[in-house]
Structure 1
Amino acid sequence: MLVVVALGGNAILQRGEPLECSVQRENIRTAARSIAKLAENHQVVLTHGNGPQVGLLALMNEAYSDVAPYPLDALGAQTQGMIGFMFEQELRNFMPDRKVCTVSTQTLVDPQDPAFSDPDKFVGPVYSKQQAEELLKKNPGWAIKADGKYFRRVVPSPMPSEILELPSLRHLLSSGDITVICGGGGGIPVKRINGKLEGVEAVIDKDRASRVLARDIGADALLILTDVAAVATQYGDPASQDIRLATPDKMDSFGFSAGSMGPKVEAANGFVRDGGKLSGIGSLEQAAEIIEGLAGTTIKAEVENEIQYYSSIEQAAGF
């Protein structure tokens, strides 16, 4: 099958970890091992988030106070190169006889998208309340919101409408034997004004962009890999159940939070409604098992009784 794998930026630099290259490299190596296992039986297109990385580059801007800061679209392009090269290298190490290619991609957005008036996409490291207040004083143009017990910078996250490099991606994938890394950070956000492309000060949600990419390349499956084993009906509640298999309509009925599982479920549901065979949400380490329905949460158009849960024993065992 042709499988789009969407990997979160926090899996590359996990929450609370130091923003260091060696830490990022080690996490990418772990991710590449799992993706290489999946690629043994499927053609993989890998997308990845970049929230911590683009936030770090934005902070580095401050070291050059006499130079105009680079905009978010340029920083997003930098993260595509940095993260893409590391993934390409590690995947080649795990798959020495396979072809791997990284493609810088741009994602078209509507300049009138309401997201520009209500920033909600987290980028960069986490801060204490005191640190957040100090940063707002230094950067009055920033917006900062609570992220659990911490605080993080937020930026606009407009809806993606088109991946501009789609014809080139289709050409690469037509060979059937190339693992492609693309759509980093949801793609470099751009708008079209009077027929000309311009960068946009925003960050696109990588799950939403991955849905558009998966739909438009005709992928069979979309896997969204994160730091939980499966989607829980009520995360943190003792009465919560882990979902094994469900329809998009049933997944919608749980009303998942926009700040956590919501965008992932939205993208997974949307891909199936677009005609995809299946979507999966689950742990990074279990990518190959998720695609076989042996782990994680699988979403399909037709499911007996609309939903199936893992048993309490399976939950306790972590599948």
Structure 2
Amino acid sequence: MRVLLALGGNAMANADGRVHPDDQIGAAKLAAGSIATLVASGVDVVVTHGNGPQVGNLLVKNELAAPVVPPVPLDWCGAQTQATLGFVLLNALDAALARTGEARRAAALVTRTRVSASDPGFLNPAKPIGRYLPAEEARVLVEHGETWEDRGPKGWRRVVASPEPLEIVDAPAITALVDAGFVVVAAGGGGIPVVADPDGTLRGVEAVIDKDLAAALLAGHVDADVMVVATDVPAAVLHYGTPEEEPLGEVTVTRMRELAAEGHFGSGSMGPKVDAACRFVERGGQRSVITRLDLITEAVTGSGVGTVVVPG
């Protein structure tokens, strides 16, 4: 069996959401233990992860340094965090695999995701990132070419495009590493967004790709049988925040789409995870599971945990 495991941003922070380096290393060790258990049972695993808090850290450094040096572009921030988190996960995975007696090793790949230069998101950037700033501080960054919006009493906030992921450019290399026996970490943060120029040359762009949608795309590229979206709740919930709140178990992809259309899943939280789970199954995957990180072994073995999206 081959599994695509998408680690939510919480998987790379401590229980309180802190992202101090020690917190991230500790969180990676916890994730690695579950992944090593899967690998020891004979499962091929490809890991992807969020990078929001880590990119946010770099953006603060950009803002503080902007009067002195030009800000690092967002695609570079993505590349830097992919490499940093890849390094942290590699150390944790190799150690966890060794404890199980596994000879397999981990590999991390800085990964590009192609988007369309004509994606409507570039015409109307709407994805807020980073922190709020006073107008005078935001103005310095606007002069460097960034797009910022006045958000009222809270201050100004940067907005960028969030284009549809079309292709995981480095999928052939990822597949080759998996086929060679590696546990692969790839496409962190949805991948580094790139567009193709008329001559076919790729170049990075200032954008944020939804990590869950990119995970579904990557899962198809590497012929995964199962996709597990690891988050901080045991399952998706119907009627969230009401007395009728109800965890959702196994559901067909058709019914899941109907529930999403009824507005059960928030656009900024569970919504993208549900969309990604549906996309994977619609493209031929056996099943998708949305559940907590500590339940991923049961999710892969089909033990009835989490929200399980199946064909139909």
Q: Same fold (TM over 0.5)?
A: yes
- How far 1:240 moved relative to its partner? 1.8
SS in 2 for 1:53: helix
Is contact 2:63–2:141 with CA below 8 Å preserved after alignment? no
Residue from 289, 294, 304 that aligns with 2:304: 294
Give the Å deviation of 1:173.
1.8
1:238 corresponding residue in structure 2:
243
CA contact (8 A) 1:10 1:51 kept: no
CA distance in 2, matches of 1:108, 1:101: 22
Quote how far apart the aligned CAs of 1:135 are. Answer: 6.0
Contact 2:236 2:290 in 1 (8 A): yes
Residue 16 (structure 1) shift? 6.1
1:243 deviation in Å?
A: 1.0
How far is 1:296 from its partner?
A: 0.8
Residue 55 of structure 1: aligned partner: 56
* Equivalent position to 2:77, from 72, 75, 86: 75
How far does residue 117 in structure 1 lie from its aligned partner after superposition? 3.5
Determine the structure 2 residue equivalent to 1:190.
Answer: 194
Alignment of 1:211-222 (within 5 A): 211-222=216-227
Are the structure 2 counterparts of residues 240 and 152 from structure 1 closer, same or farther at C-alpha, using a change threshold of 3 Å? farther
Q: Are residues 1:181 and 2:191 paired?
A: no
Q: Does 1:10 align with 2:10?
A: yes
Q: Cα 1:144–1:221, aligned 2, differ >3 Å: closer, same or farther?
A: farther
How many aligned residue pairs are there?
295
Shift of the 120–31 alpha-carbon distance from structure 1 to 2, 3 Å rule, reads farther
Question: Which AA in structure 1 matches 2:36?
Answer: A
Within 5 A, what are the aligned runs for 1:211-290?
Answer: 211-255=216-260, 256-290=265-299
Q: 1:199 to 1:181 in 2, by over 3 A?
A: same
- Is this contact kept in 2: 1:121–1:205, CA < 8 A? no
Unaligned runs of 5+ in 1: 303-319
Please, which moves more after superposition, 95-104 or 84-93? 95-104
Distance 1:144 1:298, change over 3 A: farther
Tell me: CA distance 1:153–1:238, structure 2 relative to 1, closer, same or farther (3 Å): farther
Task: State the 1:88 CA deviation.
Answer: 0.7
Unaligned runs of 5+ in 2: none
Deviation at 1:183, TM superposition (A): 0.5
- CA drift of 1:234 comes to 1.8
Query: What's 1:36 paired with?
Result: 36
* d(CA) in 2 for partners of 1:29, 1:193: 40
Aligned to 2:111: 105
Deviation at 1:122, TM superposition (A): 5.1
Distance 2:287 2:230 in 1: 14
Do 2:197 and 2:203's aligned partners in 1 also have CA atoms closer than 8 Å?
Answer: yes
Secondary structure at the aligned position of 1:249 is classed as helix
Q: 1:88 aligns with which of 74, 87, 90?
A: 90
Offset of 1:280 from its aligned partner?
0.5
Q: Identify if the C-alpha distance between structure 1 residues 51 and 295 changes in structure 2 by more than 3 Å, giving closer, same or farther.
A: same
Provide, for residues 98-149 of structure 1, a one-character-per-residue CA deviation record: whole Å limited to 9, x for no partner.
211111110100011122234444544x66xxx6778656645444699xx9
Q: Distance in 2 between matches of 1:48 and 1:145?
A: 31
CA deviation profile, 1:36-76 (whole Å, cap 9, x unmatched): 22222211000011111111111112333321111000110
Q: Check the 8 A contact 2:195/2:205 in 1, yes or no.
A: yes
Report the 3-state secondary structure (helix = DSSP H, G, I; strand = E; otherwise coil) of the residue aligned with 1:189: strand
Change (3 A) 1:237 1:164: same
Q: Which amino acid aligns with 2:304?
A: L
Displacement, 1:94?
A: 0.7
Instruction: Give the deviation of 1:249 after TM superposition.
Output: 1.3
Contact 2:14–2:26, Cα closer than 8 Å, also in 1: no
Q: How has the CA–CA distance of structure 1 residues 193 and 59 changed in structure 2, closer, same or farther, with 3 Å as cutoff? A: same
Identity %: 40
CA distance in structure 1 between the partners assigned to 2:84 and 2:165 by the alignment: 22
Shift of residue 14 of structure 1?
5.8
TM-score w.r.t. structure 1 length?
0.85
